[in-house]
Structure 1
Amino acid sequence: MWDSLQQLSYWNWLAFGTLLLILEVFGAGGYLLWIGVAAACVGVLTYLMPGLPWAIQFILFGVLSILTAVLWWRRQRTAAKPSDQPGLNLRGSELLGRQFILHEAIHEGRGKIKAGDSLWLVSGPDLPVGSTIRVVGQDGVLLKVEACE
Protein backbone atom coordinates (compact mmCIF):
# COMPACT_ATOMS: atom_id res chain seq x y z
CA MET A 1 0.00 0.00 0.00
CA TRP A 2 2.82 2.42 0.84
CA ASP A 3 4.28 1.66 -2.55
CA SER A 4 1.11 2.78 -4.36
CA LEU A 5 0.97 5.99 -2.32
CA GLN A 6 4.53 6.86 -3.30
CA GLN A 7 3.62 6.40 -6.96
CA LEU A 8 0.80 8.99 -7.00
CA SER A 9 0.96 11.09 -10.14
CA TYR A 10 -0.95 14.07 -11.40
CA TRP A 11 -3.19 11.72 -13.39
CA ASN A 12 -4.47 10.16 -10.17
CA TRP A 13 -5.40 13.56 -8.75
CA LEU A 14 -6.98 14.76 -11.99
CA ALA A 15 -9.00 11.54 -12.26
CA PHE A 16 -10.11 11.86 -8.64
CA GLY A 17 -11.09 15.50 -9.18
CA THR A 18 -13.00 14.60 -12.34
CA LEU A 19 -14.82 11.79 -10.52
CA LEU A 20 -15.85 14.17 -7.73
CA LEU A 21 -17.07 16.76 -10.23
CA ILE A 22 -19.09 14.10 -12.06
CA LEU A 23 -20.64 12.99 -8.77
CA GLU A 24 -21.46 16.64 -8.05
CA VAL A 25 -23.50 16.79 -11.25
CA PHE A 26 -25.78 14.08 -9.83
CA GLY A 27 -26.91 16.36 -7.03
CA ALA A 28 -24.47 16.60 -4.14
CA GLY A 29 -25.58 20.19 -3.57
CA GLY A 30 -22.17 21.82 -3.93
CA TYR A 31 -20.34 19.68 -1.38
CA LEU A 32 -18.19 17.79 -3.85
CA LEU A 33 -17.54 20.73 -6.16
CA TRP A 34 -14.86 22.34 -4.04
CA ILE A 35 -13.27 19.05 -3.05
CA GLY A 36 -13.03 18.19 -6.77
CA VAL A 37 -11.49 21.58 -7.52
CA ALA A 38 -8.97 21.01 -4.71
CA ALA A 39 -8.06 17.60 -6.15
CA ALA A 40 -7.57 19.16 -9.59
CA CYS A 41 -5.34 21.86 -8.07
CA VAL A 42 -3.21 19.21 -6.37
CA GLY A 43 -3.00 17.44 -9.74
CA VAL A 44 -1.70 20.62 -11.37
CA LEU A 45 0.81 21.16 -8.55
CA THR A 46 1.96 17.53 -8.85
CA TYR A 47 2.43 18.05 -12.58
CA LEU A 48 4.50 21.18 -11.98
CA MET A 49 6.51 19.56 -9.13
CA PRO A 50 6.75 15.83 -9.95
CA GLY A 51 8.91 15.00 -6.90
CA LEU A 52 6.26 16.19 -4.39
CA PRO A 53 5.97 13.58 -1.60
CA TRP A 54 2.60 11.89 -1.18
CA ALA A 55 2.19 13.16 2.38
CA ILE A 56 2.52 16.77 1.18
CA GLN A 57 0.03 16.02 -1.61
CA PHE A 58 -2.55 14.82 0.91
CA ILE A 59 -1.92 17.77 3.21
CA LEU A 60 -2.33 20.16 0.26
CA PHE A 61 -5.51 18.38 -0.74
CA GLY A 62 -6.98 18.70 2.76
CA VAL A 63 -5.99 22.34 3.16
CA LEU A 64 -7.23 23.31 -0.32
CA SER A 65 -10.52 21.45 0.23
CA ILE A 66 -11.22 23.31 3.44
CA LEU A 67 -9.97 26.63 2.09
CA THR A 68 -12.06 26.55 -1.10
CA ALA A 69 -15.19 25.43 0.76
CA VAL A 70 -14.84 28.14 3.43
CA LEU A 71 -14.11 30.87 0.89
CA TRP A 72 -17.13 29.90 -1.19
CA TRP A 73 -19.33 29.71 1.91
CA ARG A 74 -18.21 33.20 2.99
CA ARG A 75 -18.79 34.59 -0.49
CA GLN A 76 -22.29 33.13 -0.58
CA ARG A 77 -23.14 34.67 2.80
CA THR A 78 -21.90 38.14 1.79
CA ALA A 79 -23.50 37.99 -1.67
CA ALA A 80 -26.98 37.27 -0.28
CA LYS A 81 -29.19 40.31 -0.70
CA PRO A 82 -32.88 40.92 -0.09
CA SER A 83 -35.19 40.16 -2.97
CA ASP A 84 -36.54 43.01 -5.07
CA GLN A 85 -39.84 41.05 -5.16
CA PRO A 86 -40.47 40.01 -1.55
CA GLY A 87 -44.03 38.85 -2.23
CA LEU A 88 -43.09 36.62 -5.17
CA ASN A 89 -44.10 33.31 -3.56
CA LEU A 90 -46.71 34.76 -1.23
CA ARG A 91 -49.82 34.37 -3.31
CA GLY A 92 -52.48 36.79 -2.13
CA SER A 93 -50.10 39.41 -0.76
CA GLU A 94 -50.91 41.58 -3.78
CA LEU A 95 -54.50 41.77 -2.52
CA LEU A 96 -53.60 43.58 0.71
CA GLY A 97 -55.24 47.00 0.90
CA ARG A 98 -57.55 46.38 -2.05
CA GLN A 99 -61.36 46.55 -1.90
CA PHE A 100 -63.69 43.78 -3.08
CA ILE A 101 -67.36 42.86 -3.10
CA LEU A 102 -68.33 39.83 -0.98
CA HIS A 103 -69.14 36.85 -3.18
CA GLU A 104 -70.49 34.78 -0.26
CA ALA A 105 -71.68 36.32 3.00
CA ILE A 106 -69.37 36.27 5.97
CA HIS A 107 -71.18 34.01 8.43
CA GLU A 108 -69.59 33.02 11.76
CA GLY A 109 -66.41 34.80 10.68
CA ARG A 110 -65.94 33.07 7.27
CA GLY A 111 -66.93 34.03 3.74
CA LYS A 112 -65.57 34.33 0.20
CA ILE A 113 -64.57 37.05 -2.23
CA LYS A 114 -63.86 36.85 -5.93
CA ALA A 115 -60.49 38.32 -6.90
CA GLY A 116 -59.79 38.02 -10.61
CA ASP A 117 -60.83 34.47 -11.53
CA SER A 118 -60.21 33.02 -8.05
CA LEU A 119 -62.36 32.65 -4.97
CA TRP A 120 -60.60 33.49 -1.70
CA LEU A 121 -61.65 32.45 1.77
CA VAL A 122 -61.95 35.48 4.04
CA SER A 123 -62.38 36.02 7.76
CA GLY A 124 -63.90 39.06 9.38
CA PRO A 125 -67.08 40.47 10.88
CA ASP A 126 -70.38 38.99 9.70
CA LEU A 127 -71.49 40.84 6.55
CA PRO A 128 -74.10 40.17 3.83
CA VAL A 129 -73.40 39.29 0.20
CA GLY A 130 -72.53 42.37 -1.89
CA SER A 131 -70.86 44.26 0.97
CA THR A 132 -67.70 46.15 0.16
CA ILE A 133 -64.72 44.94 2.16
CA ARG A 134 -61.00 45.76 2.34
CA VAL A 135 -58.27 43.13 2.71
CA VAL A 136 -56.20 44.04 5.78
CA GLY A 137 -54.12 40.89 6.36
CA GLN A 138 -53.32 37.38 5.31
CA ASP A 139 -52.85 34.13 7.22
CA GLY A 140 -51.78 31.50 4.68
CA VAL A 141 -54.66 31.21 2.22
CA LEU A 142 -57.10 33.00 4.52
CA LEU A 143 -57.52 36.73 3.90
CA LYS A 144 -58.46 38.95 6.83
CA VAL A 145 -60.96 41.64 5.89
CA GLU A 146 -62.84 44.58 7.38
CA ALA A 147 -65.95 46.38 6.22
CA CYS A 148 -65.56 49.53 4.13
CA GLU A 149 -67.66 52.56 4.95
Structure 2
Amino acid sequence: MTEPETLKLTVTLSLEAWWLWWTAALLLAAAEMAAPGAFLIWLGLAAGLTGVVTLIFDLVAGREMGLEAQLAVFAVLAIASVLAGRRWARRSQQADERPVSRRAGQLVGRTVVLVEPIVHGAGRAELDDTVWEVRGPDAPVGTVMRVVRTEGAALIVEPV
Protein backbone atom coordinates (compact mmCIF):
# COMPACT_ATOMS: atom_id res chain seq x y z
CA MET A 1 0.00 0.00 0.00
CA THR A 2 1.99 2.83 -1.26
CA GLU A 3 -0.76 5.39 -1.33
CA PRO A 4 -3.28 5.77 1.42
CA GLU A 5 -6.75 4.96 0.33
CA THR A 6 -9.10 7.84 0.60
CA LEU A 7 -12.78 7.77 0.93
CA LYS A 8 -14.50 10.08 -1.49
CA LEU A 9 -18.01 11.17 -0.79
CA THR A 10 -19.91 12.55 -3.73
CA VAL A 11 -23.22 14.27 -3.24
CA THR A 12 -25.46 14.45 -6.24
CA LEU A 13 -28.25 16.97 -6.17
CA SER A 14 -30.98 16.10 -8.58
CA LEU A 15 -33.75 18.61 -9.01
CA GLU A 16 -36.63 17.99 -11.30
CA ALA A 17 -37.02 20.67 -13.95
CA TRP A 18 -40.59 21.45 -12.93
CA TRP A 19 -39.40 22.33 -9.42
CA LEU A 20 -37.00 24.84 -10.90
CA TRP A 21 -39.79 26.44 -12.95
CA TRP A 22 -42.05 26.65 -9.88
CA THR A 23 -39.21 28.18 -7.88
CA ALA A 24 -38.67 30.72 -10.66
CA ALA A 25 -42.41 31.48 -10.58
CA LEU A 26 -42.30 32.13 -6.84
CA LEU A 27 -39.20 34.31 -7.16
CA LEU A 28 -40.81 36.36 -9.95
CA ALA A 29 -43.98 36.78 -7.89
CA ALA A 30 -41.91 37.92 -4.92
CA ALA A 31 -40.00 40.34 -7.15
CA GLU A 32 -43.33 41.74 -8.36
CA MET A 33 -44.32 42.44 -4.76
CA ALA A 34 -40.99 44.11 -4.05
CA ALA A 35 -41.07 46.25 -7.20
CA PRO A 36 -44.68 46.47 -8.36
CA GLY A 37 -45.20 47.19 -11.99
CA ALA A 38 -47.61 44.43 -13.03
CA PHE A 39 -45.13 42.84 -15.40
CA LEU A 40 -43.10 40.24 -13.52
CA ILE A 41 -46.25 38.53 -12.25
CA TRP A 42 -47.12 37.53 -15.82
CA LEU A 43 -43.66 36.07 -16.34
CA GLY A 44 -44.10 34.27 -13.01
CA LEU A 45 -47.39 32.85 -14.26
CA ALA A 46 -45.66 31.67 -17.43
CA ALA A 47 -42.88 30.04 -15.38
CA GLY A 48 -45.43 28.28 -13.17
CA LEU A 49 -47.36 27.03 -16.19
CA THR A 50 -44.11 25.88 -17.79
CA GLY A 51 -43.51 23.87 -14.63
CA VAL A 52 -46.95 22.28 -14.98
CA VAL A 53 -46.34 21.45 -18.66
CA THR A 54 -42.91 20.01 -17.80
CA LEU A 55 -44.37 17.87 -15.01
CA ILE A 56 -47.17 16.57 -17.24
CA PHE A 57 -44.65 15.78 -19.99
CA ASP A 58 -42.45 13.94 -17.48
CA LEU A 59 -45.40 11.87 -16.27
CA VAL A 60 -46.84 11.11 -19.70
CA ALA A 61 -43.63 10.56 -21.66
CA GLY A 62 -41.70 8.98 -18.81
CA ARG A 63 -38.67 11.15 -19.47
CA GLU A 64 -37.60 14.75 -18.95
CA MET A 65 -38.46 17.40 -21.45
CA GLY A 66 -35.35 18.88 -23.05
CA LEU A 67 -34.11 22.32 -22.02
CA GLU A 68 -34.75 23.76 -25.49
CA ALA A 69 -38.35 22.57 -25.42
CA GLN A 70 -38.84 23.98 -21.90
CA LEU A 71 -37.48 27.36 -22.98
CA ALA A 72 -39.73 27.35 -26.06
CA VAL A 73 -42.78 26.57 -23.90
CA PHE A 74 -41.79 29.34 -21.50
CA ALA A 75 -41.31 31.84 -24.33
CA VAL A 76 -44.73 31.10 -25.81
CA LEU A 77 -46.44 31.18 -22.41
CA ALA A 78 -44.59 34.38 -21.40
CA ILE A 79 -45.73 36.20 -24.53
CA ALA A 80 -49.29 34.91 -24.14
CA SER A 81 -49.50 35.77 -20.44
CA VAL A 82 -48.05 39.28 -20.88
CA LEU A 83 -50.49 40.02 -23.71
CA ALA A 84 -53.42 38.59 -21.74
CA GLY A 85 -52.32 40.54 -18.66
CA ARG A 86 -52.14 43.81 -20.61
CA ARG A 87 -55.59 43.17 -22.06
CA TRP A 88 -57.02 42.37 -18.63
CA ALA A 89 -55.38 45.45 -17.10
CA ARG A 90 -56.82 47.74 -19.78
CA ARG A 91 -60.28 46.27 -19.39
CA SER A 92 -60.26 46.50 -15.60
CA GLN A 93 -58.81 50.02 -15.68
CA GLN A 94 -61.57 51.19 -18.01
CA ALA A 95 -64.21 49.59 -15.78
CA ASP A 96 -62.73 51.16 -12.64
CA GLU A 97 -62.32 54.64 -14.05
CA ARG A 98 -64.94 56.91 -12.59
CA PRO A 99 -64.33 60.37 -13.97
CA VAL A 100 -65.55 63.28 -11.92
CA SER A 101 -67.89 64.27 -14.72
CA ARG A 102 -69.56 60.84 -14.58
CA ARG A 103 -69.95 61.15 -10.80
CA ALA A 104 -71.22 64.67 -11.25
CA GLY A 105 -73.72 63.40 -13.81
CA GLN A 106 -75.33 61.32 -11.07
CA LEU A 107 -76.09 64.52 -9.17
CA VAL A 108 -78.52 65.92 -11.74
CA GLY A 109 -81.84 66.72 -10.05
CA ARG A 110 -80.37 67.07 -6.56
CA THR A 111 -80.33 70.31 -4.59
CA VAL A 112 -77.21 72.10 -3.38
CA VAL A 113 -76.60 74.97 -0.98
CA LEU A 114 -74.25 77.74 -2.05
CA VAL A 115 -71.22 78.15 0.24
CA GLU A 116 -69.81 80.94 -1.96
CA PRO A 117 -72.01 83.31 -3.92
CA ILE A 118 -72.43 82.84 -7.63
CA VAL A 119 -70.84 85.95 -9.11
CA HIS A 120 -70.54 86.41 -12.87
CA GLY A 121 -71.91 82.90 -13.32
CA ALA A 122 -69.47 81.00 -11.08
CA GLY A 123 -69.51 79.97 -7.42
CA ARG A 124 -69.27 77.02 -5.05
CA ALA A 125 -71.88 74.80 -3.43
CA GLU A 126 -71.84 71.97 -0.91
CA LEU A 127 -73.42 68.60 -1.52
CA ASP A 128 -72.80 65.44 0.54
CA ASP A 129 -69.78 66.90 2.36
CA THR A 130 -68.15 67.87 -0.94
CA VAL A 131 -67.73 71.39 -2.27
CA TRP A 132 -68.43 71.64 -5.99
CA GLU A 133 -67.81 74.34 -8.54
CA VAL A 134 -71.18 75.58 -9.74
CA ARG A 135 -72.27 77.73 -12.64
CA GLY A 136 -75.55 79.50 -12.98
CA PRO A 137 -77.34 82.79 -12.36
CA ASP A 138 -75.87 85.08 -9.72
CA ALA A 139 -77.10 84.20 -6.21
CA PRO A 140 -76.02 84.89 -2.60
CA VAL A 141 -74.50 82.41 -0.10
CA GLY A 142 -77.07 80.01 1.38
CA THR A 143 -79.30 79.91 -1.70
CA VAL A 144 -80.70 76.48 -2.49
CA MET A 145 -80.16 75.55 -6.14
CA ARG A 146 -81.06 72.50 -8.25
CA VAL A 147 -78.48 70.73 -10.43
CA VAL A 148 -79.76 70.66 -14.02
CA ARG A 149 -76.69 69.24 -15.81
CA THR A 150 -72.91 69.02 -15.65
CA GLU A 151 -70.03 70.42 -17.67
CA GLY A 152 -66.89 68.51 -16.80
CA ALA A 153 -66.57 68.72 -13.02
CA ALA A 154 -68.81 71.78 -12.71
CA LEU A 155 -72.48 71.58 -11.76
CA ILE A 156 -74.85 73.76 -13.75
CA VAL A 157 -77.53 74.98 -11.35
CA GLU A 158 -80.72 77.01 -11.32
CA PRO A 159 -82.76 78.42 -8.45
CA VAL A 160 -85.30 76.06 -6.87
Alignment of 1:1-149 (within 5 A): 9-10=16-17, 11-26=19-34, 27-29=36-38, 30-45=41-56, 47-48=58-59, 49-70=62-83, 76=88, 92-129=104-141, 131-148=143-160
**Per-residue deviation, 1:60:** 1.9
Segment drifting more, 39-48 vs 134-143? 39-48
**Per-residue deviation, 1:133:** 2.4
Query: What TM-score, normalized to structure 1?
Result: 0.61
Query: What TM-score, normalized to structure 2?
Result: 0.58
**Per-residue deviation, 1:124:** 1.0
Segment drifting more, 50-59 vs 108-117? 108-117
Task: Kindly provide the amino acid, as one letter, of the partner of residue 18 in structure 1.
Answer: L
Structure 2 alignment gaps of length 5 or more? 1-13
Whole-Å separation in 1 of the counterparts to 2:129 and 2:65: 70
How many aligned residue pairs are there?
A: 137
Whole-Å separation in 2 of the counterparts to 1:129 and 1:140: 23
**Per-residue deviation, 1:56:** 1.6
CA 1:34 to 1:106, structure 2 compared with 1: closer, same or farther past 3 Å? same
Whole-Å separation in 1 of the counterparts to 2:15 and 2:110: 69
Matched-pair identity in %: 29
**Per-residue deviation, 1:71:** 5.5
Deviation per CA, 1:35-76, whole angstroms, max 9, x where unpaired?
2323422442465343422212211222233344556666x4
Task: Kindly provide the amino acid, as one letter, of the partner of residue 122 in structure 2.
Answer: R
Whole-Å separation in 1 of the counterparts to 2:21 and 2:157: 64
CA 1:44 to 1:21, structure 2 compared with 1: closer, same or farther past 3 Å? farther
Whole-Å separation in 2 of the counterparts to 1:73 and 1:103: 44
CA 1:64 to 1:129, structure 2 compared with 1: closer, same or farther past 3 Å? closer
Task: Kindly provide the amino acid, as one letter, of the partner of residue 145 in structure 2.
Answer: I
Whole-Å separation in 2 of the counterparts to 1:105 and 1:15: 64
Whole-Å separation in 1 of the counterparts to 2:28 and 2:130: 48
Equivalent pair of 2:24/2:44 in contact (CA under 8 Å)? no
